Structure 1
Amino acid sequence: MEIAEVFDLARWYQDQGPKTGRLYQELQTVLQHNASQNQKQPVREPLEKLISALKALPMAELSFQQVAHLDDMGVACFLGVRGAEFVERVVTQSSYDPATSASEIKTATDTVNATVGTFQNLANTLKAAAFKTDNEAEKLDSDTAMARIQFRQDASIRNIAEMKKWSGDWNDIARGIGHLVGETPHDMKVVGASKGSIIVCVTGSMMLISAFAFMSKKVSGIVLDVLRVQNAIEDLRHKRLWNDTIEKSMKDDLKKREGALVDEIIAGLKERAGDGFVQEHDAHLTTAVKKYVDFSKKGGEVDYLQPPEPEFEEDQAMGDHEESQSLLVTELRDLISEIRSIKSESLLLEDMSGEVGDDPQ
C-alpha cells in the first residue's frame, strides 16, 4: 500500500475499531458471566447489537489491499459480514458451550481492541518520520479515475515472458473497452506499480474506468458463484449427501452460467455505450471481455479507488457537463461499493470453506 493508504486505513480503524471493540466487550462480559455463574444473563441483546453493528461496518470504503492488510494483522475475520458470521457461529452453534464461546469472543475482543493501539502508534510514528498523510501523485482531476490491476495466483508475473503475455492481453482489453468511450490504450496511463504480487496502478477517464468497473462487477459475481458451488459440494460431502450425479448437475449449471457470462457482459457494455459504440469494433470488444474473464478466473483482480463526490455550490445550477460528471461519479462509486461487497462475501465463503472441508467427527 501507499503511505497515504496506510494513514487512511489507520483513520478508518480508529473511527470504527473502538465502538466495535466495546460491543465485543459487552458480549464477552455476558458470556464470561454465564460461563462461571449459575444465574445466567440474557445473551440476545448484546449478541444482536454486535451482529447488526458488524454487518453495518462500511467495509466497502476499504480497498482490496487494505482489507488484505487487516487479514494479515488477524483482525479482518472479526469485522464486517465475516465478523458477524464468526460471532453468530461461536455463540449460537448447536453445541452451545458458554466457556468456549466466552474464550473465542475474548480472543476477538482483544484483537479488535489491540489493533486500535497498533494503528494509533503506527500513524504517530509515520508522522514523526515526516511521512505525509496525502499522496500528491494520486490526486486526480474531476474527469479521471484510478484502478489497480493485481497480477496474482495463476495471473501472476514471475518472468519477462509472462510480463509480455499479460501486457499484450491488457493492451487488447484496454483497446476493446476503450472503443466503448472513444479512447485507446494510450489514454489509460500507468501511474505506479508495486512489487510482490504485482499491482499496476492506472488512470483513465471516468467513463473508461466506469466501463471497467461494470465489467469487474459482472465477473466478480461469477467468481462468487463458483465459490458458492464449491462450498455447496463440500457441504454435501461433509453431510454425506453427495454423489457424482449431484456434483455433475451443479457443475453443469455453473458452466452454463459461465458460458453466458461473456455475451452478458458484452451486451451490457454495448447498452451502456449506446450510440457511442461502432459495430466494426465488435471483435475487439469480444476479445477484451474474454481476456478479462480469463485474467479473473486465473486469480487476477482489479480494484478501484473511490472518486470523491463532486463539489458544487448549493446555489449554483449545474451545467450539462457538471450534471453528466456527477452522474458518472455516482455510478462509479456505486459500482465500487458493489464490487467490494461481493469481495467481502467471497472472503466469507473462503473462510467457511476451511470449516466445511474439515472431516466430520
Structure 2
Amino acid sequence: MQILELLELTFWIDRNIKSPAITQKYQQLQAVIQQNVNARNNQAKQPFEVQKNAVIDEIIDISTSSLTNEQERMLSSFGILDHLGQTGVDKLEGILFKNSLDIATAAVKVNEIVQKFNIAIQRSDQIQTNLKPLIPDYESQEEPENNENVVMRVHFQNEVSLENISDFKKLGNTWWEIGRGIAMAHDHSPEDIKVIGAQKGSIIIELAVIAAIATTTSTIILSALKVADRVLTIRKKAEEIKALKLSNQKLENDLEKEAEKEKKEGLENITKEISINLNINQNGDGEKVKVLEKSIRNLIDFVEKGGEVDFFTPDQDEESEEIEKLRVNFSEIKKLEKRVLSLEDKNS
C-alpha cells in the first residue's frame, strides 16, 4: 500500500467513524443492554430501540466504495469492515435477534464491536501521527506535471498467479500487450506506464499511469463485468428452469445460446465503444484498433481468470474530470464484482 493511500484511509476513518461518534453510539447501546443484564428479577427491562436505531442510522450509509481494495483490506484487518454499511446493520440485528432471550451474550458481542472500533481508531490515529510528518505538504501538493497521478495495482492471483519464471514471462508479455494497446489509444507508448513497486503475498505490481489510461482500463473492466452480469443472469434463469424440473430442454438450450451470444456480442462491442470514446477511426487507425482489441481481450481474460486491478489516486485530484470518472468506474466495478461473484456462486 502506498504511504499516501494509507494516510488517506486514516482521514476516511476520521470522517466516517470518529466524527459521527459511532463507537460512542455502540457504547450507549451496550450500556442499556448491560443494564438489563444486571437488573434484578423484579426490575423492569429497559428498551434499547432508540439506541439501536441510533447506531443503524449512522452505519447504514457508510460506503467503502470510494476506497481501494487495499484500503478495504486494511479496514478488515482492523476488524471493523463487517460492521459498516448494510452488512454492519445485518450483523447487529443478528446479534440482537438471535440473542433476544440471552441478553448477556448480546451485551458481550456488542461490547466486542465497541472494542474493535476503539482499537481501530487508536491504530488509525497512530498511523496518522506517524505518517503526517513524512508528507508535511500533503494538503498543498500539486498534481505532477507528467500527470502520472494514478497508481494502478495489478494482482496476479488465482488462475493468473505467478508461480515461476515462465509464468512471469507469459503474464509480463500479456500486460505489455494490455499496456501497449491502451497507451497507443491515448497516443502514448508502453514506456509511459512505469513500474513503481511490487508487493508479496499474491504478487502485486504497482504501475504509475496517466489518469486517462487508468480511466480507460477501468472502463474496459466495468464493461466486461456488465457483460458477465447479463450472461450470468441468463444462465441463472436456465438453472431455475432446471430446478423446477419442467423438462423443457429446448428452452434451456435457447437460454444457453442466448448467454453465449450475449457474451460474444458484448465483448465485441467493448472495443467499438472504447474506439468511439477515444475518437479512434476504425479505418484510418487500423493498427491502433487492432492493438487495442488485443489489449482489451487480454485484460478481460486476466480479470475473468481471477486477476484483480485496483486504482489509487490522491484525494487532491478530485477536481479532475478524468479522476472523477475513474472513481465512479471503480466504485461501480466493486459493486458489480460482488454481484457477479454472488451470481457465480448461485450458478455453481
TM-score, reference length from structure 1: 0.72
Query: Aligned in 2, Cα 1:87/1:215: closer, same or farther, shift over 3 Å?
Result: farther
1:71 match: 76
Letter in 2 for 1:28: Q
1:196 match: 201
What is the alpha-carbon distance in structure 2 between the residues aligned to residue 283 and residue 56 of structure 1? 44
Q: Does 1:339 align with 2:333?
A: yes
**Residue 296 of structure 1 aligns to a residue in which SS?**
helix
2:294 match: 287
Question: C-alpha deviations, 1:212-241, integer Å up to 9, x for none?
Answer: 11112234456778999999999x9xxxx7
8 Å CA contact 2:181, 2:293 repeated in 1: yes
8 Å CA contact 2:80, 2:120 repeated in 1: yes
**Residue 279 of structure 2 aligns to a residue in which SS?**
helix
Larger Rg: 2
Gaps of 5+ in 2: none
What is the alpha-carbon distance in structure 2 between the residues aligned to residue 123 and residue 82 of structure 1? 27
Q: Does 1:41 align with 2:47?
A: yes
- The Cα RMSD (Å) is 4.3
What is the alpha-carbon distance in structure 2 between the residues aligned to residue 230 and residue 97 of structure 1? 43
Query: Aligned in 2, Cα 1:82/1:61: closer, same or farther, shift over 3 Å?
Result: same
1:28 match: 30
Query: Aligned in 2, Cα 1:311/1:52: closer, same or farther, shift over 3 Å?
Result: closer
What is the alpha-carbon distance in structure 1 between the residues aligned to residue 230 and residue 35 of structure 2? 42
Aligned residue pairs total 327
What is the alpha-carbon distance in structure 1 between the residues aligned to residue 26 and residue 233 of structure 2? 29
TM-score, reference length from structure 2: 0.74
Question: C-alpha deviations, 1:126-147, integer Å up to 9, x for none?
Answer: 459x755789xx9733733321
**Residue 145 of structure 2 aligns to a residue in which SS?**
coil
1:12 match: 12
Deviation at 1:210, TM superposition (A): 1.1
**Residue 208 of structure 2 aligns to a residue in which SS?**
strand
What is the alpha-carbon distance in structure 1 between the residues aligned to residue 332 and residue 93 of structure 2? 24
Deviation at 1:49, TM superposition (A): 3.6
Letter in 1 for 2:209: G
Q: Indicate the larger mover: 23-32 or 197-206.
A: 23-32
Within the candidate set 311, 323, 326, 1:329 is matched to 323
Deviation at 1:4, TM superposition (A): 3.3
Within the candidate set 119, 127, 132, 2:124 is matched to 119
1:212 match: 217
Letter in 1 for 2:16: Q
Query: Aligned in 2, Cα 1:49/1:330: closer, same or farther, shift over 3 Å?
Result: same
8 Å CA contact 1:228, 1:349 repeated in 2: no
8 Å CA contact 2:318, 2:324 repeated in 1: no
Letter in 2 for 1:177: I
Query: Aligned in 2, Cα 1:168/1:59: closer, same or farther, shift over 3 Å?
Result: same
Query: Aligned in 2, Cα 1:228/1:14: closer, same or farther, shift over 3 Å?
Result: farther
Q: Does 1:168 align with 2:173?
A: yes
Query: Aligned in 2, Cα 1:150/1:279: closer, same or farther, shift over 3 Å?
Result: same
Query: Aligned in 2, Cα 1:142/1:28: closer, same or farther, shift over 3 Å?
Result: farther
Deviation at 1:162, TM superposition (A): 0.8
8 Å CA contact 1:194, 1:200 repeated in 2: yes
8 Å CA contact 1:4, 1:133 repeated in 2: no
Within the candidate set 140, 146, 149, 1:145 is matched to 149
8 Å CA contact 2:156, 2:202 repeated in 1: yes
What is the alpha-carbon distance in structure 2 between the residues aligned to residue 211 and residue 23 of structure 1? 42
What is the alpha-carbon distance in structure 2 between the residues aligned to residue 333 and residue 152 of structure 1? 23
